[in-house]
Amino acid sequence: MIHPTPPGTRDVLPDEMRELRALAAVLRRAFEGAGFGEVRTPALEYEDVLRRGDERAGPPGFRLFDSEGHVLALRSDMTIPIARVVAARYSDAEPPFRLCYFAHAFRAVERGRGQAAEFLQGGIELVGPSAPVGDAEVVSLVLEALDEAGLRRHRIGLGDASLYPSLLERLEVPEEDRAPLLERLGRRDLVGLEERVDRLDLGGEARELLVTLPTLRGGPEVLERLSGSLAPAVENLRACYELLSERGVAERVILDLGLVLELGYYTGAVFELYDPAVGFTLGSGGRYDDLLGRFGRPLPACGMALHIERVHVARTAEERLR
Amino acid sequence: MTAGTGLTIAVPRGALFADTLDLLDLLEIDTSELRSGDRRLLFSGPALAQRGIDGIVTMRPSDVPTYVEHGAADLGVTGKDVLLEQTEREVYELLDLGYGRCRMIVAARRGDDALAESLRRLGSVRIATKYPGIATRHFADTGRQAEVVEVKGSVELAPLTGLVDGIVDLTATGRTLVENDLEEREQIEVCTARLIANPVAHKLKAQAIDALMARIRGRP
């Protein structure tokens, strides 16, 4: 008789394990080499702690009670636990803090969708430096680490979580209409977004901007689409892109004015990693300047997490090409 | 996304098939093999490659979001009804293609008032549907309790046999409803064909996708 594992979980046998270990070792060496020390946090956290990090997040995928009736949850990412660590364990220390991790995170999955409920994340968190310097350090380190891991065709999407909201404000879109627009943008429903923008009865130029902005992605030329009084909205992106050019990684960067991530704690730059061999993103991250304050240590911060198993798929595909 | 440099497009068989092929023709993408009526599911070749198409894969409309989400196809055409039912799919909805217009409705037996009667006396209605997500959401959004029964075949049978009080289903002409002594009670949504894209392909194949979209937008 075969005893199953829960949906979305799996066993890893020695051949794969060796490759995953080797991959993580390369990435760890790159992160440690850049001064990011590895930390480990408990897989279980108090649910209240995780919720404090992201109030807009849905319920955690897995919850349980301890012997005293407290609600515990399996972490759904490492960023919130690390924010807790920094606030609790480095309360007097002088920033910056550079930390990295390799740990499993957990999310609820639906049966039959081929998604992982338990997945291995590897990533970095940079606490202290603000935008754009901190953003550029995180992006370029992740790109270099992936180079060392043997990826050749990976690209990073660079957007700004505050761009569309600030645009809505600058165009004086009524407050009550903003949430529905952002919700459609977050769902990648560009048809619904256009419908909703049309209902606002804006002038031709403002309408055009709200509809086309989410489709603008490519090189630095996309930044030119916002001019005049709207230009400051992309100032952060422009500055970050310039720093990345100086670091020599600009050709890997896709500026993406429509990039929005589902996690609610991002306040500035957001990143997504792509590789042509994989249909899903290899990782994501961004700037979360408000998160540490919720744990009592207000500091700007930025980070990025890689989905190690997907990086492994991309790397395997890369080896086949050689 | 697919690894090639060109695009792979998921085309729905069934009600949207003919109009989707006409659209591809307008884009000067060769559909003669797709129209030949053979049983192949996957089409590729020099004529397609010339237009920047690595392949066309055909499938039932409800499978299109699955292939596109996983990147087995870069782009796909499917109905808004499918997207409303599979809201959790991470795909870009790029364009309303306008054709394949039909409506998602609530229908019940003509003459009697089973829906209201059940709500009033039993506290909830029983609804049969192939779209349990849409039905559940619609009744929840309108503040009514509903017990949703998922069926795979002809939904019209369910209220006639007393299995349920009403149905949620897609209708184009309304003929099937009339023939089965049912009538429309509420409209939930108007559904047309949509162009969807894999999120990674949307970034890495941006130029090809934007060029194709510009041609679709500019079609006569």
Structure tokens given for B67: 């292939």
Report the distance separating Cα B54 and Cα B38, nearest Å.
20
Q: Note whether B95 and B108 are same-domain residues.
A: no
Tell me, yes or no, whether A119 lies in a domain.
yes
Starting at the edge strand that comes first in sequence, how are the strands of the sheet with A269-274 ordered?
Answer: A37-38, A97-106, A118-127, A301-307, A283-287, A269-274, A155-160, A253-256, A217-218
The range of the structural domain enclosing residue B146 comes to 102-191
Assess contact for B13 and B42: CB atoms under 8 A: no
Percent of chain A exceeding pLDDT 90 equals 78
Structure tokens given for A76: 């759904």
Ranges of H-type helices in chain B: 17-26, 32-35, 46-50, 64-70, 80-85, 114-122, 132-141, 157-160, 175-179, 199-204, 206-217
Supply the mean pLDDT for chain A: 92
Statement: residue A276 has pLDDT above 90: yes
Tell me, yes or no, whether B24 lies in a domain.
yes
- Put simply, the answer to whether B70 touches A114 (Cβ < 8 Å) is yes
Query: What's the pLDDT band for A55 if we cut at 50, 70, 90?
Result: confident
Query: What's the pLDDT band for A83 if we cut at 50, 70, 90?
Result: very high
Q: Note whether B91 and B129 are same-domain residues.
A: no
Statement: residue A284 has pLDDT above 80: yes
Find which of B203, B205, B217 to mutate to test the A interface (most A CBs within 10 Å of its CB). Answer: B203
Report the distance separating Cα B113 and Cα A53, nearest Å.
50
CATH number at residue A283: 3.30.930.10
- Put simply, the answer to whether B203 touches A277 (Cβ < 8 Å) is no
Assess contact for A139 and A271: CB atoms under 8 A: yes
Q: Note whether B77 and B135 are same-domain residues.
A: no
CATH number at residue B198: 3.40.190.10
- Put simply, the answer to whether A274 touches B194 (Cβ < 8 Å) is no
- Put simply, the answer to whether B203 touches A155 (Cβ < 8 Å) is yes
Q: Note whether B97 and B14 are same-domain residues.
A: yes
What does pTM read for this prediction?
A: 0.91
CB hemisphere CA count around A250 (13 angstroms)? 16
Q: What would the pLDDT profile of B44-74 be if each residue is shown by its tens digit?
A: 989 899 989 999 999 999 999 999 999 999 9
- Put simply, the answer to whether A188 touches B70 (Cβ < 8 Å) is no
Report, as an integer, the average pLDDT of A153-157. 96
Q: Note whether B127 and B153 are same-domain residues.
A: yes
Of A260, A113, A317, whose CA–CA distance to B199 is shortest? Answer: A260
Report the distance separating Cα A115 and Cα A127, nearest Å.
31
Nearest by CB: A188 against B95, B199, B206:
B199
Residue B205: count of CB within 10 angstroms of its CB: 25
Task: Calculate the CA B79 to chain-centre distance.
Answer: 2
Q: What would the pLDDT profile of A298-321 be if each residue is shown by its tens digit?
A: 999 999 999 999 999 999 999 888
Nearest by CB: A188 against B91, B96, B210:
B91
Nearest by CB: B93 against A113, A191, A279:
A191
Q: Note whether B156 and B196 are same-domain residues.
A: no
For A274, phi and psi rounded to 5 degrees? -130, 150
Residue with tokens 């991530």: A261
Report the distance separating Cα A247 and Cα A227, nearest Å.
26
Q: Note whether B82 and B181 are same-domain residues.
A: no
Q: Note whether B70 and B127 are same-domain residues.
A: no
Residue of A nearest to B75 (CA): A279
Report, as an integer, the average pLDDT of A152-173. 92
Residue of A nearest to B194 (CA): A191
Strand pairing class (A155-160; A269-274): antiparallel
Statement: residue A193 has pLDDT above 80: yes
Tell me, yes or no, whether A260 lies in a domain.
yes
Structural domains in chain A (count)? 1
- Put simply, the answer to whether B93 touches A188 (Cβ < 8 Å) is yes
Q: Note whether B110 and B182 are same-domain residues.
A: yes
Q: What would the pLDDT profile of A3-22 be if each residue is shown by its tens digit?
A: 999 989 999 999 999 999 99
Statement: residue A262 has pLDDT above 80: no
Residue of A nearest to B210 (CA): A215
Q: How many CB pairs under 8 A join A and B?
A: 62
Statement: residue A195 has pLDDT above 90: yes
Nearest by CB: B203 against A157, A189, A190:
A157
Tell me, yes or no, whether A201 lies in a domain.
no
Starting at the edge strand that comes first in sequence, how are the strands of the sheet with B92-96 ordered?
Answer: B42-43, B53-59, B7-12, B75-79, B193-197, B92-96
Report the distance separating Cα B70 and Cα B86, nearest Å.
14
Residues of chain B with pLDDT under 50: none
Structural domains in chain B (count)? 2
Find which of A115, A188, A319 to mutate to test the B interface (most B CBs within 10 Å of its CB). Answer: A188
DSSP, residue by residue, B105-131: EEEEESSS-HHHHHHHHHSSEEEEES-
Report the distance separating Cα A117 and Cα A110, nearest Å.
9
Least Cα separation, residue B71 to chain A (angstroms): 4
Find which of A156, A183, A191 to mutate to test the B interface (most B CBs within 10 Å of its CB). Answer: A191
Tell me, yes or no, whether A178 lies in a domain.
no
Starting at the edge strand that comes first in sequence, how are the strands of the sheet with A71-74 ordered?
Answer: A44-46, A71-74, A63-65
Residue with tokens 């590897």: A122
Tell me, yes or no, whether A278 lies in a domain.
yes
Structure tokens given for B102: 């039909």
A281 contact residues in B (CB cutoff 8 A): 199-200
Q: In this structure, which amino acid lies at residue A30?
A: A
Q: What is the pLDDT of residue B120?
A: 79
Q: What is the pLDDT of residue A201?
A: 85
Which DSSP symbol is given to A188? T
Least Cα separation, residue B75 to chain A (angstroms): 12
Q: In this structure, which amino acid lies at residue A53?
A: G
Least Cα separation, residue A152 to chain B (angstroms): 13
Residues of A with CB under 8 A from a CB of B: 110, 113-114, 155, 157, 187-192, 215, 217-218, 254, 256, 272, 274-281, 317
B206 contact residues in A (CB cutoff 8 A): 217-218, 254
Q: What is the pLDDT of residue A66?
A: 93
Find which of B74, B80, B88, B92 to mutate to test the A interface (most A CBs within 10 Å of its CB). Answer: B92
Report the distance separating Cα A236 and Cα A240, nearest Å.
6
Nearest by CB: B203 against A113, A187, A256:
A256
Q: What would the pLDDT profile of B147-180 be if each residue is shown by its tens digit?
A: 999 999 999 999 999 899 999 999 998 899 999 9
Q: Which element (helix H / strand E) includes B95? A: strand B92-96
Statement: residue A111 has pLDDT above 80: no
The range of the structural domain enclosing residue A279 comes to 14-42+78-161+216-321
Region label for A54, one of left (φ > 0), alpha (ψ between -120 and 50) or beta (otherwise): beta
Q: What is the pLDDT of residue A230?
A: 75
Statement: residue A263 has pLDDT above 90: no
Report, as an integer, the average pLDDT of A163-189. 91
